[in-house]
Every structure is written in C-alpha cells, then in structure tokens.
Structure 1
Amino acid sequence: MTLSQPGSWPIARAKQALRDEMTRRRQAFAASATRAMVEDSLRRRMVRGLRAMVGAGDCISLVWPLPGEIDLRPVMQALHADGLCVALPETTPKGHPLTFRLWQPECVIQTGRYGTCHPEGPPVRPDVVCVPLLAFDRRGMRLGYGGGYYDRTLAALRGARAVGFGLSFQEVTCIPTGRYDVALPAIVTEREWIRCRGDGRTR
C-alpha cells in the first residue's frame, strides 16, 4: 500500500495532523527556560547508554542539529574521545537511503539538501543509527518529518541497530501506523531508555 492509495489517506492525514501539533510543541519547548537542562540530561543519558551497547571499532551515527533541534555535538565529542567512530548522515535525493560520512572534530561541515549539514569525510557504514524523533509511543513507533529517509535507510542497513532519541514531551499514546511501519527497538529520552520488542510492544 502506498500513500497514493485511498486506504492510506486517513493514516497520512492523521500523521500530518500529529506532525503539525508536535512541531508546535517543539517550538514552544525551544523557547522554554528548562530547555538547556532537559537537553543536557538527554545527552548524558545517550552517552552512557551508547557506551554500553557498542564495542571497539563500532561506528555510531548521530545528527548535526538544525535550528531548534537537540544539539548532539557534545555526544559526538564524548564518543570520539572514547575512540569510537562517529558518523553523520548526508541527505540524499528523495527516494534514496541516507549516506553516512565520517565525522571528526576538525572536519569541514558542508550544507546539504533541505538545510541539513554533513561532514566532508569519507563514507562509512554505521553499526548504530541514532534516529531523530518528532513523536514516538511506547511501542517504539515513531513519527518523523515525512520524507521516509530513515525508513529506507534502516531497511538498507541490515544488521545495524537503531536507537530513537527525543524528549519526554514528544511521547504520545499511539502513533498512527500503516502496514509497513516498523517499531524501533529502543528509544532514549532525558528520563529513560525505553526497550521495545520487535512486535512494537514495550518489554
């Protein structure tokens, strides 16, 4: 089933309505007095959890922040200092999976499609992909920006582990899902790691 088929229209409309609502929530949070403290709590929890799940030589993909998004550069610095490979995604033409490029503190950052940024480094294959969330639920279902990039990317990266990251205010009771939507195995917020089963239920 594709979004051009009538049966998928209600799901598409529900997703877009939720996307609009969560965008408003995120804009309000960006102006809040607690933003710095909350985001720092998320970063510290991410570093601890990612250190525990990777081994020497593993590569972790993070995200260069867009305006209003969570700044993961301190996480990148901490993991790089541990000797881990850190990568950032390069936004590819629509319909293709993301490409990942090696990040190092001294590397040149380039502006890519849709205002995204990526390093000038060589392409690498991540073992762990950290997925940004606009909204999520306890089953591990996620709502992104609607481009489908991470869906295609995770399908192409067989064997890679996915971790969604967001803040607790982005949690909703139930994400609208279609037949091809797949749950994330884990989600991290400033409060907790949520471990999910492959069938979309929390452990």
Structure 2
Amino acid sequence: MSERTTLDYLIQLYPEVGDFEIITIENPIILQSSGVQKETEQIVEVKGSSTCFEYQFPASPEHFVGRQDVLNEVDAYTEAVIEKKTSSRGLLFEANSGWGKSSVVLACVDRLRQKGHFAIAIDCRSASSSQFILHVVDYVLLKFGNFDGLLSEEQITKVITGFEGVVKTLVNIGQILEQHGKVMFI
C-alpha cells in the first residue's frame, strides 16, 4: 500500500501507525503457481461381484439372494416419497461388517433403475475431506446428464460452487424429478 491518501486515512484512524516506517517496494514480486495440482478425491461407485461366489466383493444384483423384505421396504419408502407421505429423505443400512449392506444397496440401485428412477451407489470410504460431497454431486450430475431428457439444457448445472450450490442444484433437480414421479438415490 503506497497511496498517501490511504496511509493518511489509516494514520487518522490509528495514530500509532504514524510511527511506523513506510517501506516502498520498487519491483513487486509476482507469485506464480507451483504447477502442482491439488489432488482431487476419487469418486468410486460400488462394484459388485462378477460371479456368484466371489465373496470378497458385494454381490451383484444378478447374484443377490434373500433379503427381499429389505427391497420391498425400499420400494415402499420410494412410493411414500413420490406420494408425499413422508418428509424423510434418507436411508440407513446398519449391520456388522460382511453382512451384505453393500450387496443390498446394489440390489436397491438396480431395482430403482429398472423402475425408471435414478440411483447410484458411491463408496464413501474414500472420503478424505469436507469437499467429498461436492465431488460426489458433481460426479452424479455428469453421470446422469440430462436425466433421460427430463432436464433442459438450461436446467443442467454446469458448475457447482460450494455447499449452497450443491443444495440448490439438488433441490432444483428434485423438483423436476418430482413433476415426473421420479426420485434420485445417491
């Protein structure tokens, strides 16, 4: 800062600043980017097994057995959301490790897609920052694009900035999907 009027104003506000020595830099240093890009979090979809007895992976929908009651509950919940019979907007699958939570999620995603809804299973174990949700929503928007023609070109969000942008985008998409009796599960 070298403008005399600004300096005089600051001295008037804070008289003790007037005792400071003013140093003027003749050749300002221009900082350049280091060229190192910040690594973004990797967004990974949950993948299922390729064969029936590949137990180290969640069961793919075609290899999923049992727990039909859970799938029926998700169907009932989806209908309750569409028919505005619930204000709830979240599901929680809770069980011990290895009990098939991811397999159930993959089966639910498949079933929802077969019914014309939009669903995706994201592996959140890779989340390493508060920005994870922004990256997930960006990934989901790229994946679903215009939501099978339900969104016009103007309605497709090009850039999301911050959490408020995420909320606004999801609310807007939710309203459009609601008009068509569709839901989105992430």
Q: Is the pair's TM-score, using the shorter chain for normalization, greater than 0.5?
A: no
The structure with more radius of gyration: 2
Instruction: Give me the TM-score of the superposition, normalised by structure 2.
Output: 0.28
